């Protein structure tokens, strides 16, 4: 995994993955121009958030995702249309013109947000899922582990030194979420079924009902952890910080 600055959508090779990392603080600096990317439905959805902070984050992350997807399609961010499967996974970014659907670029992507950070991972290589979490032990962690972790996974978390326990928990959680998101499943249905234990940063996940999945951890920001899951072995995974300069099209 390496960092490249500035990234170019055109450099996305067949089996590469580009992971865009957004901080809400940076997106706020991008200002109103970024919010112009939102469509009517997203503006309405934003209003359903009672907390101003949540509303602001939703709008900024959505607008930034549109900007990034617009580079790859490529098209105006406002024109990006998506389809969602029955569990909510968005895919197939496309443009509708003159009542006709035009898919301009076959790309796979997935996104995740947690508090002050969000990411979107993009590839042409195949299905992928991504998850980020703020590192902390959630309330009722034991109950969560009883319900959703294998005994061996829960044991590994409990055996971790106290200072590293939250990270151990979140590492397994992000692995499970990223894996489920790679195939657009339902977390509730799959979470207990996936054995994602192991100390390594990269692990392979094998399950009789799923294609082989490759999981790798990546750094998001201090206090956050991220996991990328791909249904193929990526040739390279590059991390890119979204910058206000890019949103005006400099990187596209």
For residue 30 the two structure tokens come to: 């991008």
The smaller minimum CB distance to ligand COA, of residues 19 and 250, is found at 19
Q: What are phi and psi of 193, to 5 degrees?
A: -80, -15
- 44 touching ligand COA, by CB under 6 A: no
- 187 touching ligand COA, by CB under 6 A: yes
- 186 touching ligand COA, by CB under 6 A: yes
Q: Which residues contact 154 (CB under 8 A, 6 or more apart)?
A: 145, 146
- 34 touching ligand COA, by CB under 6 A: no
- 89 touching ligand COA, by CB under 6 A: yes
- 111 touching ligand COA, by CB under 6 A: yes
Shortest separation between residue 128's beta carbon and ligand COA, angstroms = 10
- 217 touching ligand COA, by CB under 6 A: no
Contact window for ligand COA (CB under 6 A) among 174-182, 198-206, 211-219, 233-241:
174-182
How many CB atoms lie under 10 A from the CB of residue 146? Answer: 11
The single residue among 73, 166, 180, 228 that binds ligand COA, judged by CB under 6 A, is 180
DSSP H stretches of helix in 77-161: 141-148, 151-159
How many CB atoms lie under 10 A from the CB of residue 9? Answer: 18
Q: How far apart are the first and last CA of the chain?
A: 22
Q: Are 218 and 207 in contact (CB under 8 A)?
A: no
- 88 touching ligand COA, by CB under 6 A: yes
- 113 touching ligand COA, by CB under 6 A: yes
- 87 touching ligand COA, by CB under 6 A: yes
- 110 touching ligand COA, by CB under 6 A: yes
- Render 89-127 in DSSP notation, one character per residue: -EEEEEEEETTEEE-----EEEEEEETTEEEEEEESSS-
Nearest to 26 by CA among 244, 214, 252: 244
- By rule CB under 6 A, what count of residues binds ligand COA? 17
Query: How far, in whole angstroms, is CA 194 from its chain's centroid?
Result: 19
Using CB under 6 A as the criterion, which residues of the chain lie in contact with ligand COA when the complex forms? 87-90, 110-113, 129, 131, 177, 180-181, 184, 186-188
């Amino acid at each position: 995994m390496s960092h490249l600055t500035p990234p170019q959508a055109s450099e996305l090779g067949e089996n590469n993955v580009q992971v865009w990392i957004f901080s809400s603080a940076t997106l706020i600096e991008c200002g109103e121009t970024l919010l112009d990317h939102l469509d009517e439905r997203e503006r309405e959805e934003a209003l359903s958030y009672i907390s101003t902070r949540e509303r602001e984050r939703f709008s900024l992350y959505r607008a930034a995702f549109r900007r990034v997807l617009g580079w790859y399609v490529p098209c105006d961010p406002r024109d990006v249309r998506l389809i969602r499967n029955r569990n909510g996974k968005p895919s197939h970014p496309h443009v509708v013109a003159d009542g006709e659907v035009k898919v301009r670029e076959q790309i796979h992507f997935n996104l995740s947000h947690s508090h002050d950070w969000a990411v979107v991972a993009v590839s042409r290589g195949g299905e992928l899922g991504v998850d980020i979490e703020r590192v902390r032990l959630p309330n009722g962690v034991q109950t969560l582990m009883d319900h959703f972790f294998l005994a061996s996974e829960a044991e590994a978390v409990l055996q971790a030194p106290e200072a590293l326990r939250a990270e151990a928990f979140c590492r397994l959680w992000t692995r499970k979420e990223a894996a489920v998101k790679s195939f657009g499943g339902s977390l509730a249905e799959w979470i207990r079924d996936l054995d994602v234990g192991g100390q390594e940063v990269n692990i392979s996940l094998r399950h009789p009902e799923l294609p082989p999945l490759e999981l790798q951890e990546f750094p998001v920001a201090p206090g956050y952890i991220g996991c990328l899951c791909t249904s193929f072995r990526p040739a390279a995974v590059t991390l890119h910080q979204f910058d206000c300069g890019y949103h005006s099209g400099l990187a596209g």
